[in-house]
Amino acid sequence: MEKDNNLKHIQDALNALPDDFSILEEQIDVELQMAYFEMAKSERPGVLSKEELEEAIKTLFEGEIELEEKKHLLVKLAGQDNIEAFRAIESFRKEADDSIRDWAVLALQESRMVIQSSLLGEQQVFISTGLGGKGQNIRYFVAMQHAEADTAFNETQRKLIESEFGFFLNKSEGTLEEINFHEGFALAVFLFPLKEKLHLIFKSFIDECNQYGNFLSEDVIITNVKKLTIEEVKEFIKKNE
């Protein structure tokens, strides 16, 4: 009952979202996202003067400054309702190396939202997850297990899982991006509309597959935080036995 109530609360919150919302497309570590948003929350300088803005942009592109200072500058510029700040962040992201690229992506997304909110006269809703998304779809990772532990799916079962999963996703405007089979598991990455009821799709999909031999477990692991390795999947199952 508690599980059902939690699902209802989550679905109610999703249904309350406006029709026009933005989803972060890139796959960015959740801890890095939290660090960015914490800095953005605690370090808002207010509106920068023209001179302060120009100085911040100039300093951002200087190669000698420390990584941490670049992060602070990106956060500072992202909070400005200013197209020059947006363009500066956009240019920086294109040239950024791996050490700061994801941070720059978050800054660019925030800058875009600040400007859109100003132009449209209403607050924009931004949704981010570890696996990102596309359009109004969230990206998920799922691990499905054979009904008999430590039993590998045979070739027929593999084909059935892939074809039926893709079919049920397409019916709800979702997309199967990849699927792999390891030992007794099917590991998949897929896109699914944020406001659709994901648990109903899985129930229908598993019921359909199990008409051909009850080979697919009803217990699945679904996350939008990161792709799990087969070792992480096994460890999760072991902890929850």
Sequence-distant (≥ 6) Cβ neighbours of residue 44 within 8 angstroms = 79
Give the pLDDT band (50/70/90) at residue 22: confident
Over 60: is that where the pLDDT of 2 sits?
no
Is residue 157 helix, strand or coil?
helix
38 vs 40: CA distance, rounded Å: 5
Q: What is the topology classification, in CATH, of domain 135-239?
A: Alpha-Beta Plaits (3.30.70)
pLDDT digits (tens, 9 = 90+) for 93-110: 999 999 999 999 999 999
- Which amino acid, 172? S
Lowest mean pLDDT: which of 19-28, 50-59, 76-85, 224-233?
A: 19-28
pLDDT of residue 153: 95
pLDDT tier at 62, thresholds 50, 70, 90: confident
Name which residue leads in pLDDT, 114 or 10. 114
> In the chain, which residues fall in CATH 3.30.70.1290?
135-239
pLDDT at 214 over 80: yes
Taking residues 186-213, report their average pLDDT: 91
Residues 6+ apart with CB under 8 A from 238: none
Instruction: Please report the pLDDT score of residue 199 as a whole number.
Output: 84
End-to-end CA distance of the chain: 20
pLDDT band at 4 (very low <50, low <70, confident <90, very high): very low
Model confidence, pTM: 0.77
Reported as a single tens digit per residue, the pLDDT across 111-169 is: 998 998 888 776 667 788 889 899 889 999 999 999 998 899 999 999 999 999 999 99
pLDDT at 17: 62
Contact criterion met (CB below 8 Å) for 142 and 29: no
Write the burial class of residue 41 (CB in 10 Å: 0-12 exposed, 13-18 middle, 19+ buried).
exposed
- Please report the DSSP string for 13-74 in residue order: HHHTS-S-EEE--S---HHHHHHHHHHHHH----SPPHHHHHHHHHHHT-TTS-HHHHHHHH
